[in-house]
Amino acid sequence: MVNINPAKPFLFLLTGDEFLRRHKIESLVGELIPRELRQTNLFRIYPQDLNWQETLSQAQTPSLMGGAQVFWITQADQIKKGDDNTAFESYCDHPAAESYFIFEADELSGAHPVVKLANRLGRHFHFGRRDGEMGFEAMRDKVKRSGKTLASGAWQLLQEKLGGSPRLMDIAIDQLVVYSDEPVIDESAVEKLSGEFLRYEPFDLTDALARRDISEALRILHFFYDLSNDMTSMIGLIHWQLKRIWQAKRILAQGGRREEVGRTLHIPPFRLGPFLNQVQRFDSAMVERLIDRLWQLDWDTKKGASSDATQMEMFLAGIAS
């Protein structure tokens, strides 16, 4: 008989929208282990590095530092069938008391073994488009409490100009509520705010990276960092734009048209032409390399090994090398 505490499962699966699931993972990790133990008790594992025998041996061995251990396995959809997954399934019958597993993937079919295990023994969080709209609803309610209304077009434009960063968008909403004279906050209000307060956009940052203008990239980085004072937001800002570039290159490589790029990635018409020009200036290998570096920086930040803009500066400087 499997001894599972439903109030505190040991297995979590997160699928769907990457931005939303990463925030949930960060929340889960924060609940399971204190920040001071992340360096020793948090393990991030990629499919190519997954060795179930070693991983399960570690899970069954109490941490020398005490406390729970968390095994965060990314890109679960790329775990090969021959990777002795049955060993993990057997482990799930008698899981260690203080070891937790977090799996994440863009999408997994209902027949996938991890999906079945999560549904039976743990929790499966799927973040779809409706979840992404919850952010809009929350901020629209915030505007409503001020006696004003937030138009959907204004939200979309704000998302484009601030890289989908909830923290930066929340700050911008506060400014719009204070400085907008009209009862409806629309696209013109966002454009006015941008002209007065936002000297740069995420598009400008990746444009500087494409030109390898590191001095300009650093100026833009510090502008956004000063706005948010949050390293995670900065990483998310760059990743948001780089991932769109990578997705656009895939669509075009498969014979897709520019209209498909705009429709799939929700790029407004005024931005589509400049965005596609930027896409052409990056090669796929470079984009993938930058995203890998961002993952490492994000990992260091979540483990507490990096917390200020210095590491991000080093990341940007490394692009020129």
> Residue 112: which of 135, 85, 87, 136 has the closest Cα?
85
Radius of gyration of the chain (CA): 21
Residues with Cβ within 8 Å of residue 281, at least 6 apart in sequence: 210, 211
Domain 200-298+305-321 has CATH 1.20.272.10: yes
CB atoms within 10 A of CB 309: 19
Tokens of 217: 């990239």
User: Quick check: 319 and 216 in contact, CB under 8 A?
Assistant: no
What is the model's pLDDT at position 308? 62
What is the model's pLDDT at position 100? 96
Per-residue pLDDT in tens (0 to 9) along the chain, 321 residues: 333 344 578 999 999 877 678 778 888 998 899 888 888 899 988 888 888 999 999 999 988 888 899 999 988 888 766 556 788 989 998 999 899 999 999 888 888 888 999 999 999 998 775 445 556 667 777 888 888 888 878 888 887 888 777 777 888 888 888 888 888 888 888 888 887 777 888 888 888 888 888 889 888 888 888 877 777 777 777 888 888 898 899 899 889 999 999 988 888 888 899 999 999 988 888 888 888 777 777 767 766 655 566 777 777 777 655
Tokens of 253: 């490589």
User: Quick check: 48 and 137 in contact, CB under 8 A?
Assistant: no
- Amino acid, single-letter form, for residue 110: G
What is the model's pLDDT at position 6? 44
The 3-state DSSP class for residue 12 equals strand
CATH code reported for the domain at 11-127: 3.40.50.300
Record the pTM: 0.58
DSSP letters of 111-156?
A: TSHHHHHHHHHSEEEEE-HHHHHHHHHHHHHHHHHTT-EE-HHHHH
Which architecture, in CATH terms, is 129-198? Orthogonal Bundle (1.10)
* All structural domains of the chain with their residue ranges: 11-127, 129-198, 200-298+305-321
The 3-state DSSP class for residue 44 equals strand
Please check whether the two domains, 11-127 and 200-298+305-321, share a CATH topology. Answer: no
> Residue 101: which of 60, 131, 66, 65 has the closest Cα?
60
What is the model's pLDDT at position 70? 95
What is the model's pLDDT at position 2? 35
